Each structure stands twice: as structure tokens, then as C-alpha cells.
Structure 1
Amino acid sequence: MQSTVLSTAFETKSNIVVSAPTSSGKTVIFEIAIARLLYTTQQQKALYLAPTKGLCSERTKDWAAKFQHLNAPVVELTGDSNALGLASAKDARIIISTPEKWDYITRRWSKNDHILRHIKLLLIDEVHFLRERNRGPCLEVLVSRMKDKVDDLRVIALSATVPNADDIAEWVGSNATDSDIDECGSPKTTADLFTFGETYRPCPLRKYVYGYANPEGDYWKLEGNLNSRIMQIIQEHANGRPVLIFAPMRKSASNAAEVLANEFDRLCEARNRPWDPPLPSMTANYDDPNLNELAPRGVAYHHAGLSPRDKRLVESAFLEGRCFVLVSTSSLAVGVNLPAYLVIIRGTKLYQGQWTEMDDLDILQMMGRAGRPQFDREGVCVIMTENNRKDYYVAMARGETPIESTLHLSLIEHVNAEIGQRESCSQDFVENWLRGTFLFVRMKKNLRHYQIEGAGGMNDPEHGVQNLSRHLFKSLREHELLLDATQDGRSEIACSHYGDLLASYFISFKTFLRLLRVKRGASTSDILQVLCLAEEFCEIRIRHGEKGVWNKIRTLSQIRFPPKKVTNATDKLSILIQAVLAGVNVLDIFKEEGEVFKAGFQSEARLVFRQAPRILKCLVDIAVHREDGKTAKDASELVRSTSGQAWDSSPATLRQLDNIGEKYMQLLSEAGIKSIGDVADSDPLRMEHLLNRRSSNFGFKLVQQARSFPDLDLMISEVKHKRFDDCVESRIELAIDLKNSNKEVINVWTAEKQPRYIICLTTSSEGELFDYRRMSRQTFQNCLQAPQI
């Protein structure tokens, strides 16, 4: 495969689309193109996009080792990276990112132009994830934006086997010159397309899909049925070689491993041993006692809940043949290289409050683990699913499922963002932009699939685009997201203040509409309720069996705004947020419920506190625009609380200090030390005594850090007072000063190179907004004089 593409990848600048089976060595094509870029240019950069952080991390590690000797720095920019990473991208030759992160960067094109203008090679991995509704639209819009804004951009996209790779080639388009022609003598308009079948996989893969009845529609019951069928599949397909089983959850993985160990014992008693167990001297000593029970049978499980040591021991045992069957969550589908002869995908649904189908991308990654070229001539993959999904997975396994666009499901947010990229544009621009999307490519071939609201009968794609554009503009105007103007006799449009907010805060249109409907003078409780209804949290559900736990937490005194009863996901979210802000040790409460519930809480809390500050900041800006001081004040306080994961008046604020976790926070609180100020006023030796830390100047460092937090002083003076018959005119001056403005004060930059901000909000007692300032500490200097009121 690589030799077929080599000349085009290295000797030309042509755009390329490659469709090939998983594990067929497609990544080498990217490396050839990077080598050409490094060989022919001095400053140009390559950008690699992958759908997950796991793939990005894997590629960063690999390419940093391969290209460092060529003086080609590699930098990773994902959701986990920060401003420091973006600064390092200036000197990097290879940038690795996710579409979501790069969308954020490119929406601020002028600010980041010093980096963006040097990107001349765009590498898209796993481009078939265009079909995924959560990640696909972002990639589709981003690629169109890069093609529009970067001159002479080369695009190379790699896909798993799909039947409509030609549609991807049409969408990517050609970067050929006018003199380049296709086989028919016409100017080239599509990317060079290379398609390869299963024969190009170094280790051919046999694929089987088994469907199972679920007449009651209860997937929990089906889970047990699937576990009971695994041993039969192993006996039929493993041929005495290693087996890797993917289960949807941690509990599913450990349960399946336990079932297999019991089945192993039963078959051994019947003198029908399915595989050879390891010798007692070869089994590892695990931290997890359950793994120690399974190890003598040659069975283990692997998930994020294991200790790092146990993970390493399990991986080594599987690679060295001391573990015959390994049951894992999807964590082993990407990153750790643990191929097996037989891969079993035990169920195709994930439980995320409700059962939902896994992403096709995840299924394909799991399938790619089947087959060990260094040991086997073939690999086997078995997909276990419900009867009603069998045909779908048969088609997917054969590469017969076409890629469809999902851009139409979130089109209004993306169109608004594109309008916001320009000072002004027209409806014609939006229609031309739509024609450049993968959505339009597929609309021309599968109209029935895209019966989009506002697009009419869609008998003609061109007519559909015009109707769709009109419908989008109607919605944008209806919600005051557009400004209309006339320039040189032409009708022009631009984003309104609200349109700019929607684009800059990266929130869904449904969430934004909810923020616009927040009543004037909203309280903290009202704002919290709206936050919990955000579309960004729509996948959070009440898990089977956890409602009682949340009702128990609801009754705690630390919950400020308890619902009457936990009946839905909104109630659960409200309690989750309040419990974290109050410093409630939720993990201890969930400990009795098992590992699955703890893991679910942790992942949901990470999602909520990653998204909440951004949503709330948007509400603050909406309130300021409306001069609604009460809502702006309460929303600003909630922004600060969710950012620091602590109520302002809660001892949980102590967690902002280094080395202060739940245990130390509780000890300090019981001693009457409940705020950063209390720590700053404390004796360092007393701190060491309370926390039993008498080494390395612990108390001194802790107190010094507390004293480095900004301590603001507000001074108010009346400079004019004049009485009238029916009112009093008063003019007041506000002066805000930084009391601890010495070298001890906290740096104006965070460790992640993000600026620290100070907000000055002035309202009347009735909630009328007088003034709002948000400025960096660097701008603040030593004193700020607010305007006279």
C-alpha cells in the first residue's frame, strides 16, 4: 500500500484520500508527507487532527521520537493543553490536535495568525468519524475553514474501508494548478483517491457478527446472557491463541472475567480444559485481590480503576502469555499495543445513564487489535450485539456503511460562527459555504437522508441549499443573532452581540436560547437550574440503582438548594454540583455502591466542571448587555465557584492551596480555619501541627501561598450630594486597591500561562447595573479608579 501511494505523497503536493483496512499501515503515508514538508521547506508546519485525545497522545509520543533528529519539534494541543502549549506551537513543525481544540483556535484566526499562516499540510486521521454526530460536524466545518483561509494548503485524509471514499475525495477537493487534468482531460476537482481492500492488511482479518435476542428490551439482562456465551465463542474461534475481550464498563469487564474463570474451572473438571493456565510460579502478585483469584486460571481484566502497578502487570502477563484471556474496557483499544489473535466485542452499547450504541470509530479501533503479524497469519474479530443491530454491524464490518454528514444536526451554531469570522457577509456567502461542505456532497447523492427543516422538498440540492440558507437566517434573526446593513447598495449581515457570544463561548444553540430566557434579577438557585438544563449535559442520566444515593446526598445540610426529590437528571446534576462546591466527600458515600458508581460520578463531575464556567460566563455577558446587575452578580459568583469547585464561603476554597485535599480541608475546618484568609493569618507551626506535617517547611510554604492571594480593598467616598424636592443626587467615587501589592502577591499568570483576572461589578441595591469591568491582574496594577456614578 505504501509503495502505491509513495510517489504521490512524496513527489507531489496533491491532496490525497486513502481508504484502507485498520492496521494496514496507513500512518506511514502521513510520515512520508511530513518528510516532504521538512525536506522542501524551512518554516512551514504540519497539522495532524485525530478524533480523540488518546490517538493524539499516541501520535505525539511516536512522532516526537521519529522526527526529533530532524530538528522538527512536535507539540500536542488538545483539551488538556493550555496557553503554554499554544505558545510552543510557534516553534513546532508538527502540531497534533483534536478538531474541537483546533476549532477554538481558528475561530480566533487574527489572534493566532502567527501560527496558522505557516500551516501548509493538514493530516486528517480516521476521517470516517465525519458520521458521528458529536465530533463529525466540528471536523467538517474546520476543514472547510482551513481550505478557505490557507493558501496552497495540502490535505491528506485517511479512512477505514468505506464504500463512498470518493465523496470524501470530492469534499477535500484538489489543490492542483490549472494545468493539471484528470484521466478524462478535464481540470482536476477532487483529491487523488486510493482505495485498498482487506488483502492489504498484513494480517488478514476474519469477522463474525452474532446477534442475540432481547425480547424484553432490557439490556441489563442481555449483559448476563452475553457473558454466558463468551466461552463458546472462545472455544470456536481462538484456536488456543490469546483472546482480548472488550466490555463497555469496568463492572462489565470484571463480571465477564469472573464468569470465564468459573467456566474454566467447570470445563477443567469435565476434562475439557479450554486453554493451558500459567504455572503457579509465573503468576503475578496484584494489588487487586480479585485479580489474584483470576490469575491462576489465565484470566485478567483491565480498566482505569486499577492501580498503575496492576495495569503494568496485567499488560505484561498478556504480552508474555501468562494471561490467556484479557477482558478490558475500551482503554486498550487506543494507546497500549496489546494485539490478540481473537478480539471479542462483548456488546455494542455503553451505559451513560441510558444504553447508547458505541461510536463506530471505537468499534473499528477495537477490531484493529485483532491479529498479530509477528505471530499469526490471520486475526479474528467477533462482534456480539442485539438481533436488531446485527445487519448494521455486518455492513460496517464489511466496509459497506456509507459515511453520511451530521452537520445538519448543529448547523445553526456553525453558520453563526462562520458569519462571526467576518466583519460582514451576505446570504450568498452562506450558500457558497454550504456548497463546500461534505453535507452538500452527500445531499447530491442521498437526498432522502437529509430532509432538513427549512430545506423544502429537497428534490434539487441547489434549491435545498437556498431554502436551508433562508431558514437559517430566519432563525438567527428571530433570536437577535444577526445585524442587517446595506453597503454599496448590497444587503450585508454580521453577528450581533448575542451572535458573537454564541460563537465565542462554544455552547450549543439550545443552551444559548435557555440563557436568553433567564428572567431579570435571577437568583443563584434560578441560574443553577438553567445550568443543569444545558444541552452540553444531555447525556448525563440517572444510572440504574443510584437514585437512592442522590436522595441521600440531597438531605445533607451542605446542599443549599435541594430539590424536593431526585426524579430526573436535572435534579441529579444540581445535587452533584452543590455537593462538590460544598466539599462533600461524595466518593465515600458512593464507596458502598461499588466501583462503577464511583467511576460514573468522577467522569460526570469532570464533564460538568469543565463546561459549567464557560456556560456561566456567557450568561454573565448576556446579563451585562441587558444591564441586569443582579443576574450578572450571582452568575459571576457561580462562575468563580465552579471554576474553583468551591462555594465562596465554604471551607472547600482551601482546596486551592497546594497539598490540601479532602482530608486536610476537613482537619483545618474542624480547627476553625475555613478560608484562605484564615490560613494567611495562621502560625506556620500550628498548621504543621494540625496537619501532622513537620517537614520541609510545609507550614511556612502553605501560609506564604495563602498570603499571595490578592487581597482587595474597596474605598467609597461621596464627592457630591445635592437634595431636590423629590430626590437626592449623589456622586460617588469607588477606589479599589490591592492591599498586598508586594512581591508576595500571586503572579499575574497562572502556572499554565493563563492570565489571572479581577472583576469589578457595581450595582444598585435594586439590581441595576452601573459598571462592569473584567481585567487582568497585569492591567489592574496597584490601584483602579472606577468611573464616577
Structure 2
Amino acid sequence: MLDSNDCILSLDSLFFEKPIVHKKPLHQEPSPWQLEAPPSLAHIPATQDMQEEAESLSTLYVRFRSVFNEFPFFNYVQSKALDDVLYTSKNFVACAPTGSGKTVLFELAIIRLLMETPEPWKDVKAVYAPIKALCSQCFESWKKKFGPLGLNCKELTGDTEIDDFFEIQDSHIILTTPEKWDSMTRKWKDNCLLQLVRLFLIDEVHVVKDTTRGATLEVVVSRMKAVHTYRTSQNPEAGLSMRFVAASATIPNISDIADWLSNEGVQATYLDMDESHRPVKLRKVVLGFPCSPNQTEFKFDLSLNYKMANIIQTYSDQKPALVFCSTRKGAQQSAAVLAKDARFIMSIDHKQLMKNANSILDTKLRLMMLGVGYHHAGVALSDRKLIEEAFTLGDLPVLTTRTLAMGVNLPAHLVVIKSTMQYVSGSCEEYSEADLLQMIGRAGRPQFDTSATAVIMTKIQTRDKYMQLMNGAEIIESSLHSHLVEHLNAEIVLQTISDVNMALDWIRSTFLYIRALKNPTHYLCLKNLNSLSSIGLIDMDEDINIKPTAGRLMARYCVAFDTMKQFSEVAGTENLSDLIELVSKSREFSDIQLRMNEKRPLNTLNRDKNRVTIFPIEGKIKTSEMKVNLIQAQLGSISIQEFGLTQDTAKIFRNGMRISRLSEFLTQRSKTGFSAVLNSLILAKCFRAKLWENSPYVSKQLDKITAMVNSGLTTFSKIEQTNGRELELILNRHPPFGNQIRESVIHLPKYEVTLEQLPGYSGATAEIMVRVNLKNQAQLLSKRTARDHHYVSLIIGDSDNTVVFLQKLDFMLLKCGSWSKKIDVAKASKGEEISVNLISSEYGLDIQQKFTVHY
């Protein structure tokens, strides 16, 4: 058998000649592999029609050649996968070492889709779902490769935006993360664009075992299967397919992944390649260092700095070395220590290094003259480019970088991972396997090296664990069972599941089902339907039919089951302080950590004499829940100076806004008391506005305006009554800015609520006519400041804490100018006064008044 380095296919001599018609399944034992000249068209055993098709494909091949213009040959792994990826439409899984060029297989799959689809390729949609670090890198590459073919690439990451569907309307290749695609496809039946997807590419599919990301990836794949099933049932004549192509690092049970990605009746093929087929042979070294029980992660990480010089000199072979650190500061510290410990000038041109160092803007980076540099997002762009260029050309022997920079393609002969722990939200946690493999994948420069080395520096206690991981000996298990309740609810809301039998079918489409059959002791008993039903999120009848109820809110706002359960236990008497405490205990904030350096500023906020913190916490700040609770300071418009706190504040508000919308959940529960419902509506508005409901900083809600508190303009009515020229003096702006501000306030909705008791007295019930008038309707029809989705909630409660009436008023009120309703008010045992509240969804426009009912 030939050496793997010799088993490569020329793109010119093989790939772009006539295709071979008959193929052998890749999972069968292959015969000794030999390179042969491609047969001519006349020798291919095919009909005349197939010959004509081959001619047209041959024409297309020339067109696609530009996609692979970076190299003249496919490597061994790519060559072995070529038949199944390009010449069939079967689902396919490639298991190969990191750095073996698996991305090319995705590009071949895209070309296969284009070959199957007649031009113009208007409705061609392919989705690539890698880990986030790979998204930007692949987006830039594919934009250059597929752009000349007329394909538009779109990168979608981060939180869901309302215009995401508009963005992908004209896109052919969508690069996103499983988490983002999960949020976008939760309404796939309402969007025909999502139903056009015919190719789903999964990079790093072994992430399915990850405790945080894995369940989402698994559910997204099952949902795409459901999309295909629905599409086929609606239009069976169209013959549209849904193809899955996945790539994985070396794992022992790749056949399970192939079983999971198989279609009904059509088994997915797979390619299983071990480390011996890596283009650049990789030596993996795991070094364990002693760490005493009383030594902190920070001190252990710091101690590793002084061991790296010896490691680099031992394993680098006088070639470039890349050191991954967990933080920006760690990258700089490591570089400084290495520069003192050893001079890595070696055999390079010292003058070129001096020239690069003198061009650097950051004086700290002048240590480049000693052969060491650092690289992270905090370095100026011009300096980063100089560093990258110097390292890529081999002028810079050693580069330290933060792990978040792993999306930057900087290959090296030696990769060192300094510590297997990283700092996330102030706490230490281990790198995920996907992150480690991405870092290790930087080892080896195909154009320069035939071998490379990756060194992992970890504690002696975890050395064996990482040895096993590096050898690919760990069986991949599903993590869906730990998040099944949330995802099951989402599918019920989507109507993917409407009865127990459909729920079982959905389970069978998951990787969880594949692995549970083989390793049932690993998974817990699945009683999640009963869990959802127990707190009223779904209804189940005797005929085992399932209907979503409040679970719609849980799915819409992506709220955890534990949080929903917590809200289901609301007593009904909760005030605003109680609800803030309830929100701060939500599972969504479980990863918010209380750092040591944050305790002093948080305690200062808690004891603020100006009572910015409206509901101070008793005692000192000791827990992360207390930290989340003190986000009240942001609602009070107090500037937070601590950088880490500022970042956490943004995250808390994003999650808090979703959780606060569970006020709708409380309104749907008949037993919830008036106080809890009213205060939940107020809290939801506070989160949207990022202000307390009676805040004097109301002007911050107007576009491009800072607060006018110091000038006494603490309400919208005071701003409206102020002359435009005076507003310009206050804000130090030029005309007509003052008039524009007044116009913004004038075109906010102004409401009036009136109640009238109708004749006909009764000892138990009274009839009340409620009217809501929009006083400036005429002005708002021509122009309005409030957004289209702005609404008000009318809520009326009695002295027994019972919700008498609740109504949401939106566009209907703007159209008609007034709204009225006759309601029956039962006599309360504790008094005859009722509380009438009109709560704006966003602005400080609330009306609160009392009305006495006569019986």
C-alpha cells in the first residue's frame, strides 16, 4: 500500500475530468489504493443520457476550479471522501484529525448542491453551523471563494434580531452557530425561507457531547429533519432533499453519529481516519505539574509562565511556537516572562525583527526585539497585523495569544496550551473539548513542516484525563437528557409534537435515542412531559394529545424550565422588591459570578445614601444572587465604573428583559393576585426602559439625549413645556435641536382613563363602564415617537387582591382614538375601592387612580 503522503488526487487530472460512475461504499474494507489515470468518457459504462450529463458536469467543473485555487492537490483524507461527498447526495460524516482539511469537504458538498440545482441559484440555501470561533474565519474565506460564483454568504451570530430573516433572504450560504439557528428556527413554519434549506453542514459534530452546547446542536439537527419531513409532505412531487454533512475530530463511535444523521431507509456513509492520516504528523504531549490544594488557579497559571521557556526550547525545533493563554493579561505576562527567560532570535534575520519592533505603536510590544510577541483583541489593529505578518513569515519565533483569538489562522510548528482552565464571568472552568481541539489544530504548517508538536500544560491530577482526550478514546454521549424539558416544550409550541406518539418519534430522531439504546445506564428516566404538565405549560388529555399553553412563552423567550417553575410558585402578593429577588434567582443567571474585587463597589451601591438602590439588601453582598439583585443601580442611572460589572450588567439586562416578559405568564394564571400581576407589568417596563417607573431620568428614553435632571426636567410634561431655545442651551446643541426634542415628546401618546358606574344597584355586583381615550390621536396619526409595537395594559384590582379586569391595548386604540368596556365588579370583603392602572409597555406614561364602587 502506498504511503498516505503519496495518496493524493490532482484537482486538474482527476477532479475536473469525467466523473467515475460506480463507487464503493466508504465504510467497507478498501482494497490497496492505487492512483490510476481517469477513464475517458467512452470507457464509462453508462447510457448515452448519462454521457450527456457527464459532459455538462465537466463544464461545471471548470467553473468551480477557482474554489480550490489555493492548492493543486487534495490530501489523502479529502481524496478518500471525494466520491461520497461530490458524486452522491447521501448524508456523510468525516471523522479525521484536527488540521486534516475537513473544511474542503463542506466546500465539495456545496458544489454538489450547485450541480444538482439549475441556474439561477436563487433558492439555494446551505447552512454551516460550527462553533462560534470558526464562523468569522470561514465567512471571510467562503465570501472570497463562492462570491465569484454569484453566491452570497451571510454570518449570523449573537442575539436574535428582528431583521435576521430579511438578512438571509438573498443569502445562499448562511454561517451561524447552533444556538443562533435554534432561536431563528423556532418559528420555521411561519417563514418559507427556512424551508428552502437543502444542505446542513455541521463542523465539530463531536460538540454534541458538550454539556452546554451539545443539546442545542442535537435539537437543531432534529428540527431540520422535521422541516424536511414537513416540506416533503406538503409537496411530495418536488423531490427536494435535505442533506447533512458533518465533520468530527477523532472519536471511537463515529458510526453512532452516522446512524443519527441517516435518513429513513438511506444509511449515511462515513469516513473514519485516525491520526496517522494527518497531513502534518502531530506529536501530542500532556505535561502534569503539581498544584497544592491551597494554591489558587491564578497562582498555578502564573507558575506555568516560568516553565514555558524550557518547554519551547525542548519541543520547538527552532521553529515558530504559539502559546495559548486564558486571558489577555495572561498573554502579556507570559510574553514578558519568556522575553526575560530566553532570547528566541535563533536563525532569523535580526534586522527584520528590529524593523518590525520599531513599527509597533504599543511600547510594551517592543519585546519583539527579544523574539517574543503577544496578540489579543485589545492590541491595536495595526499592531496586530504587524504581529501576525511577522509570525506567519517566521520572523517572530514565539507568540502568546488569548484563546478567543483561535479564530485567527496562525499556524505554528509548536502549540503550547498554558493551563486547561479558563476564566469565564469571573470563575474558572475547564476548556471544552472543541476549544482544545481548535487550539491543537493550529499545530503544523503544511507548507513548511512534515511534523508538529502540541503540548498541554495541566495539573498532575488531570493529566490522565487529557491524555485520553488527546488520543480520541472517549465515547461520545448525548447531553440532551439534561436539557430535554426546555427543548421538548419548544417543539410542542412549534407543533412539531402534538401527541405522545409524535413526542416518541421526535425522540427517535435524536442522538440521545441512538446512544440510550446502547448505554441506557448513562441516561435518566425521561418523564419530562409530566414535568411540563405539572406547572401548566402544556395540557395533556386522556387521548394522550398535547397542547401548548403557557409553554409558548417559555419557548418564545427561551426561558429555562427551572425559572418557569419558580414563577409558577408566585403567591400573588409579591411587590416589586419580591419580584426583583425572584428574577435574580433565575437559572439564566447561574453563570454570573461574584468576584472578590466587586464586593466593595457593590456594597457601596447597596448603602447608597441617595437611595439609588430602591430596595437595599440586608447585610453585606456575599452571593451572586445579591449581585444580580443590585442591578437596580442601573435602573437608577448610576454609572458603574468596574469594567467586569459593566459587562455583567449588559448580560443581566439581556436575560432580565426576557425573564421579565414572564409577566404574561402570571397574567394567564387565574390564581395570581393583583399585586403580583401589576408589579410584574411594571418590572417588565423597567427592564425595557432601563429605568425605574418614576425615574427623573425619563429624557434618556428620547433618542440621542442625555439626562436633563440637573435642569429640573424630570418628566415628559416639563420637557414639553420648555422653550426649544432653552432646551438647546441646557444640552449645548444648535437649533433646531430643541424643537425636535419637544416634537418627540409631543408625539408620545397621552392617555385618559375614566370610569362610570351604571344605574342598577346590587348587593353583590356593580356594572362599571371603563373608557380609555387617546387625547392626541390626530397628532399621532401623522407622526409618533413610540414604536409600532408599543402598547398599554389596563389592569384593575380590588381590595381583596383579585384581578377584576386585564386588557392589552395596542394599535386598535391608535386607530379608533378611544376604547370602552362594560365590566362587572364583584363586592370585595375588605373594601369597596378598586385600583385602576394603565401601564405603558415602555415609556413613563402610566396612569394610576382609585375608584369607589357603590353597592
Do the two structures share a fold, i.e. TM-score over 0.5?
yes
| Partner residue in 2 for 1:260 | 338
Asked whether the equivalents of residues 245 and 345 of structure 1 are also in contact (C-alpha less than 8 Å), the reply is yes
Deviations 1:730-761 (A, max 9, x none): 3332224555415442375xxxxxx5231323
Q: 405, 418, 433: which is aligned to 1:332?
A: 405
SS in 2 for 1:47: strand
Q: 547, 571, 585: which is aligned to 1:495?
A: 547
Q: Does residue 172 of the first structure (1) align with residue 249 of the second (2)?
A: no
| Partner residue in 1 for 2:94 | 18
The number of residues matched between the two structures is: 725
1:704, distance to aligned residue in structure 2 (A) = 6.4
Asked whether the equivalents of residues 257 and 300 of structure 1 are also in contact (C-alpha less than 8 Å), the reply is yes
SS in 2 for 1:585: coil
Asked whether the equivalents of residues 770 and 820 of structure 2 are also in contact (C-alpha less than 8 Å), the reply is no
| Partner residue in 2 for 1:475 | 531
Query: Structure 2 vs 1, CA of residues 623 and 71 (structure 1 numbering), >3 Å: closer, same or farther?
Result: same
Identity over aligned residues, as a percent? 31
Deviations 1:513-539 (A, max 9, x none): 111112203211111111111111111
Structural RMSD (CA): 3.1
Distance 1:96 1:701 in 2: 45
* Residues 646-655 or 372-381, more deviating: 646-655
Q: 605, 614, 634: which is aligned to 2:658?
A: 614
| Partner residue in 1 for 2:47 | none
1:340, distance to aligned residue in structure 2 (A) = 2.2
| Superposition pairs of residues 141-160 of structure 1, within 5 angstroms | 141-150=219-228, 151=232, 152-160=241-249
Asked whether the equivalents of residues 645 and 652 of structure 1 are also in contact (C-alpha less than 8 Å), the reply is no
SS in 2 for 1:716: strand
| Partner residue in 1 for 2:471 | 398
| Superposition pairs of residues 334-349 of structure 1, within 5 angstroms | 334=407, 336-349=408-421
1:473, distance to aligned residue in structure 2 (A) = 3.5
Distance 2:347 2:196 in 1: 61
Asked whether the equivalents of residues 716 and 732 of structure 1 are also in contact (C-alpha less than 8 Å), the reply is yes
Distance 1:705 1:359 in 2: 53
Asked whether the equivalents of residues 43 and 118 of structure 1 are also in contact (C-alpha less than 8 Å), the reply is no
| Partner residue in 1 for 2:54 | none
Asked whether the equivalents of residues 737 and 782 of structure 1 are also in contact (C-alpha less than 8 Å), the reply is no
Query: Structure 2 vs 1, CA of residues 123 and 726 (structure 1 numbering), >3 Å: closer, same or farther?
Result: closer
Asked whether the equivalents of residues 278 and 296 of structure 1 are also in contact (C-alpha less than 8 Å), the reply is no
1:722, distance to aligned residue in structure 2 (A) = 4.6
1:277, distance to aligned residue in structure 2 (A) = 9.0
Structure 1 letter corresponding to 2:598: E
| Partner residue in 2 for 1:769 | 803
Query: Structure 2 vs 1, CA of residues 483 and 216 (structure 1 numbering), >3 Å: closer, same or farther?
Result: same
Structure 1 letter corresponding to 2:780: S
Structure 1 letter corresponding to 2:308: I
Task: Please report the TM-score for the alignment, with normalisation by the length of structure 2.
Answer: 0.78
Asked whether the equivalents of residues 76 and 85 of structure 1 are also in contact (C-alpha less than 8 Å), the reply is no
SS in 2 for 1:788: strand
Q: Does residue 100 of the first structure (1) align with residue 206 of the second (2)?
A: no
| Partner residue in 1 for 2:440 | 367
Structure 1 letter corresponding to 2:793: C
| Superposition pairs of residues 597-608 of structure 1, within 5 angstroms | 598=643, 600-608=644-652
Asked whether the equivalents of residues 283 and 322 of structure 1 are also in contact (C-alpha less than 8 Å), the reply is no
Q: Does residue 197 of the first structure (1) align with residue 274 of the second (2)?
A: yes
Q: 588, 596, 605: which is aligned to 1:536?
A: 588
Structure 2 letter corresponding to 1:347: S
Query: Structure 2 vs 1, CA of residues 744 and 416 (structure 1 numbering), >3 Å: closer, same or farther?
Result: closer
| Partner residue in 2 for 1:585 | 639
* Residues 384-393 or 41-50, more deviating: 41-50
1:394, distance to aligned residue in structure 2 (A) = 1.4
Q: 95, 107, 113: which is aligned to 1:37?
A: 113
| Partner residue in 2 for 1:417 | 490
Query: Structure 2 vs 1, CA of residues 774 and 45 (structure 1 numbering), >3 Å: closer, same or farther?
Result: farther
Q: Does residue 56 of the first structure (1) align with residue 94 of the second (2)?
A: no
Query: Structure 2 vs 1, CA of residues 272 and 109 (structure 1 numbering), >3 Å: closer, same or farther?
Result: closer
| Partner residue in 2 for 1:507 | 559
| Superposition pairs of residues 160-309 of structure 1, within 5 angstroms | 160-174=249-263, 188=266, 190-216=267-293, 218-264=296-342, 280-284=354-358, 288-292=362-366, 294-309=367-382
Q: 737, 744, 748: which is aligned to 1:699?
A: 737
1:686, distance to aligned residue in structure 2 (A) = 4.5
Structure 1 letter corresponding to 2:531: S
1:146, distance to aligned residue in structure 2 (A) = 1.7
Asked whether the equivalents of residues 261 and 299 of structure 1 are also in contact (C-alpha less than 8 Å), the reply is yes
* Residues 87-96 or 533-542, more deviating: 87-96
| Partner residue in 2 for 1:758 | 791
Distance 1:782 1:296 in 2: 74
Asked whether the equivalents of residues 769 and 820 of structure 2 are also in contact (C-alpha less than 8 Å), the reply is no
Distance 1:760 1:436 in 2: 42
* Structure with bigger gyration radius: 2
| Partner residue in 2 for 1:713 | 751
SS in 1 for 2:659: helix
Distance 1:40 1:290 in 2: 55
Asked whether the equivalents of residues 129 and 176 of structure 2 are also in contact (C-alpha less than 8 Å), the reply is yes
1:221, distance to aligned residue in structure 2 (A) = 2.4
Runs of 5+ unmatched residues, structure 2: 1-76, 233-240, 824-855
Q: 623, 629, 645: which is aligned to 1:568?
A: 623
1:777, distance to aligned residue in structure 2 (A) = 4.8
SS in 2 for 1:507: coil
1:195, distance to aligned residue in structure 2 (A) = 1.8
* Residues 85-94 or 140-149, more deviating: 85-94
Distance 2:352 2:718 in 1: 58
Deviations 1:221-270 (A, max 9, x none): 21222122111111112233322221112332232223223324xx79xx
SS in 1 for 2:754: strand
Asked whether the equivalents of residues 97 and 278 of structure 2 are also in contact (C-alpha less than 8 Å), the reply is yes
Task: Please report the TM-score for the alignment, with normalisation by the length of structure 1.
Answer: 0.84
| Partner residue in 2 for 1:88 | 167
Q: Does residue 527 of the first structure (1) align with residue 571 of the second (2)?
A: no
Query: Structure 2 vs 1, CA of residues 683 and 308 (structure 1 numbering), >3 Å: closer, same or farther?
Result: farther
Query: Structure 2 vs 1, CA of residues 312 and 166 (structure 1 numbering), >3 Å: closer, same or farther?
Result: same
| Partner residue in 2 for 1:461 | none
1:702, distance to aligned residue in structure 2 (A) = 6.0
Q: Does residue 378 of the first structure (1) align with residue 378 of the second (2)?
A: no
Structure 2 letter corresponding to 1:247: C
Query: Structure 2 vs 1, CA of residues 279 and 159 (structure 1 numbering), >3 Å: closer, same or farther?
Result: closer
Distance 1:305 1:652 in 2: 33
| Partner residue in 1 for 2:815 | 781
1:167, distance to aligned residue in structure 2 (A) = 0.9
Distance 1:612 1:368 in 2: 38
1:357, distance to aligned residue in structure 2 (A) = 0.9
Asked whether the equivalents of residues 654 and 674 of structure 1 are also in contact (C-alpha less than 8 Å), the reply is yes
Query: Structure 2 vs 1, CA of residues 549 and 284 (structure 1 numbering), >3 Å: closer, same or farther?
Result: farther
Asked whether the equivalents of residues 707 and 745 of structure 1 are also in contact (C-alpha less than 8 Å), the reply is no
Runs of 5+ unmatched residues, structure 1: 177-187, 456-467, 591-597, 749-754
| Superposition pairs of residues 542-561 of structure 1, within 5 angstroms | 542-556=594-608, 557-561=611-615
Higher relative contact order (CA 8 A, sep 6+): 1
Query: Structure 2 vs 1, CA of residues 659 and 701 (structure 1 numbering), >3 Å: closer, same or farther?
Result: farther
* Residues 678-687 or 414-423, more deviating: 678-687
1:153, distance to aligned residue in structure 2 (A) = 1.5
Asked whether the equivalents of residues 722 and 730 of structure 1 are also in contact (C-alpha less than 8 Å), the reply is no
| Partner residue in 1 for 2:785 | 746
